[in-house]
Amino acid sequence: MIKTSELSKIFKTDEIETTALNKINLEIERGEFVAVMGPSGCGKSTLLNILGLLDTPTIGDFYFLGENVAGYSEKQRAKIRKKNIGFIFQNFNLIDQLTVFENVEMPLIYLGMSTKERKHRVEIALEQMQISHRLKHYPNQLSGGQQQRVAVARAIVSKPQFILADEPTGNLDSAHGDEVMNILAGLNKMGATIIMVTHSQSDAEYAQRVVTLFDGQLLAEKTHKVSA
């Protein structure tokens, strides 16, 4: 479903060249829950950005649903992205000026969905995240856990095949963190493919497979049974 071959990302500034990812070969199947781990600066987020079609590799191939998208333009990538991928960020990245409802509704607008359909879908997603009682609130009126649930609702509202999560519990206390992880595990059970970057060993436990990066290189893969 997702396959990278000899994928590298090199950042160039005037003076230095940094290899953020070095010849990554990775394959992810439909319905998998994969955790990406590694120390700060190892290239986790860069990998996630490329897998999420937010960025392009410098060298190498990247097959997304069978298509080599490595050389795609931003416009081409945006088209695939909005249909297939939902994002969850460590700092939630909700838009302060929009209400909970409007934040969740946003991806559907860009998919060109009708108002009625959007309303229906947003309500379902918010109910699923148990946050529908807050739909007229603004992000800053919510707790961190509630904000992240809104962000998850936004990620799943368009029913994407993939959910990409960048340290989704990083800004949450452990209780709220567990809550979010349970939600992700639940989504995975319902068929979503999840790729998650994390520092947290306990969060990684939720994944079926853990890949570890060090200095831009894939070090090890570990598969384990999901405990929850």
**Residue 11 contacts other proteins per CB under 8 A:** no
Give the largest CA-CA distance in the chain.
Answer: 53
Determine, following the binding rule CB under 8 A, whether residue 102 of this chain makes contact with other proteins: no
User: Which residue in 1, 54, 113, 124 binds other proteins (CB under 8 A)?
Assistant: 54
- Spell out where 128-216 has E strands: 162-166, 193-197, 209-214
Distance, in Å, from the CA atom of 97 to the CA atom of 7, rounded to the nearest integer, reads 38
**Which C-beta is closer to other proteins: that of 55 or that of 178?**
55
Q: Does 44 bind other proteins (CB under 8 A)?
A: no
Closest to other proteins by CB, 70 vs 106, is 106
Choose which of 18, 25, 68, 91 interacts with other proteins (CB under 8 A): 91
Only segment of 31-39, 59-67, 85-93, 186-194 that touches other proteins (CB under 8 A): 85-93
DSSP 8-state symbol, 218:
E
Residues 138-197 that bind other proteins (CB under 8 A): 154
Binding of residue 95 to other proteins (CB under 8 A): yes
Closest to 168 measured CA to CA, from 152, 185, 190, 187 = 152
106 near other proteins, rule: CB under 8 A: yes
Given 28, 57, 81, 167, the residue binding other proteins (CB under 8 A): 81
**Which of these ranges, 61-69, 79-87, 172-180, 197-205, lies near other proteins under the rule CB under 8 A?**
79-87
- The answer to whether the beta carbons of residues 37 and 218 sit under 8 Å apart is no
Question: Could you say whether residue 72 binds other proteins (CB under 8 A)?
Answer: no
Handedness of CA 104, 110, 116, 120 (dihedral sign): negative
State whether residue 38 is helix, strand or coil: coil
Q: Report d(CA 97, CA 100) in Å as an integer.
A: 10
Residue nearer to other proteins on the CB measure, 104 or 210: 104
Q: How far apart are CA 136 and CA 114, in angstroms?
A: 20
Cα end-to-end span (Å), the chain = 25
Which region, judged by CB under 8 A, interacts with other proteins, from 88-96, 142-150, 182-190, 204-212?
Answer: 88-96
User: Given the structure tokens 């394959």, which residue do they identify?
Assistant: 27
**Nearest alpha-carbon partner for 180 in 133, 144, 222, 137:** 144
Which residues of the shown chain bind other proteins in the complex (CB under 8 A)?
Answer: 49, 52, 54-55, 74-75, 78, 81-82, 87, 89, 91, 93-97, 106-107, 110-111, 154
